[in-house]
Amino acid sequence: MTFQQEATSQGLEVARIAAITLDLDDTLWPIWPTIERAERVLHAWLVREAPRTADLLITPGVLRELREATERERSDLAHDMSALRRESIRSALTRAGEDPALADPAFDAFFAERQRVTLYEDALPALQWLSARYPLVAVSNGNADIHLTGVGPWFRGAFSARGFGSGKPQAPIFHAAAASLGLAPDQVLHVGDDAALDVLGALNAGMQAAWLVRDERAWEHEAQQPQLIVPDLHALCVALGH
């Protein structure tokens, strides 16, 4: 079988797993189609309410430039994607000579659309299967809300970098997720798509880690290995069902 068709195990200890933490963006749904659609909704809102800002943001790269400048200037917001987005919009309004107070309702329009995700085909069956066997906790650096996105019924809880105050790959957010279930980190399997944030973060926090790779990417961190590599969430369920 090819890499895409099978799971690769590096010593997964299924018997030790008492709970699972899951990343959200690019694990349960693709993030960039969601963000692109939300940015179109934002632009349509600006056309109606702040047309000079809308004209400014038509130029490719301007919003990204403003967001990167905001990240440099507001390092205190590095863990809060919502605040960074809102302040980027505020900067665009100010540059265009329009009311910066419009940043709040403009962000609200973006945020509402950002929660309208399209799950990967394997996500819902996997959530149903996993949640029947393990308590699930979401651990994300993004600003998706498990209840607004519709996946809340399958989770016991959720930890976001914004709400927690720091994010992956730092250990505290992983430890807090495990502690919320009354478990030690080594009793938890973390599942996510990002090699550094999810896998190395979880391993360094004392968890087992499953790397979800929906495309052809090689593992590049020789010093540490995920206990499991899976091409999709169906393969994760199969590996845990053995």
> How far is the C-alpha of 128 from the C-alpha of 124, rounded, in Å?
6
Q: Which two tokens stand for residue 185?
A: 């980190």
Residues 235, 162 share a domain: yes
Is residue 2, in this structure, part of any structural domain at all? no
Residues 228, 164 share a domain: yes
Q: What does the pLDDT read at residue 7?
A: 66
Is residue 1, in this structure, part of any structural domain at all? no
Is residue 3, in this structure, part of any structural domain at all? no
Residues 25, 36 share a domain: no
Q: What does the pLDDT read at residue 5?
A: 44
145: confidence class by pLDDT, cuts 50, 70, 90: very high
Residues 223, 122 share a domain: yes
| CATH number, domain with residue 75 | 1.20.120.1600
Domain that holds residue 127: 8-29+118-241
Residues 230, 178 share a domain: yes
Percentage of the residues of the chain whose pLDDT score is greater than 90: 74
Give the mean pLDDT of 75-92.
86
| 108 close to 118: Cβ distance less than 8 angstroms | no
Residues 61, 131 share a domain: no
Residues 131, 23 share a domain: yes
Residues 223, 154 share a domain: yes
Q: Which of 114, 136, 161 is the last residue before a domain boundary? A: 114
Is residue 148, in this structure, part of any structural domain at all? yes
Cα separations in angstroms, 214 against 5, 33, 46, 233: 10, 16, 35, 9
Residues 106, 69 share a domain: yes
Give the mean pLDDT of 205-229.
92
Is residue 136, in this structure, part of any structural domain at all? yes
Q: What does the pLDDT read at residue 62?
A: 81
Residues 24, 142 share a domain: yes
Is the pLDDT reported for residue 144 higher than 60?
A: yes
Q: What does the pLDDT read at residue 227?
A: 95
In eight-state DSSP terms, residue 60 is T
Is the pLDDT reported for residue 67 higher than 80?
A: no
pTM: 0.89
Residues 197, 147 share a domain: yes
> How far is the C-alpha of 170 from the C-alpha of 103, rounded, in Å?
30
- As for how many domains the chain has, the answer is 2
| CATH number, domain with residue 13 | 3.40.50.1000
3-state SS assignment for residue 139:
strand
Torsion of CA 211, 241, 186, 198, to 10 degrees: 20
Long-range contacts of 220-224 (CB under 8 A, 24+ apart): 220/195, 221/195, 221/196, 224/199, 224/200
Is residue 142, in this structure, part of any structural domain at all? yes
Q: Which of 49, 81, 114 is the last residue before a domain boundary? A: 114
Give the mean pLDDT of 51-62.
88
Q: Which of 65, 88, 114 is the last residue before a domain boundary? A: 114
Residues 237, 141 share a domain: yes
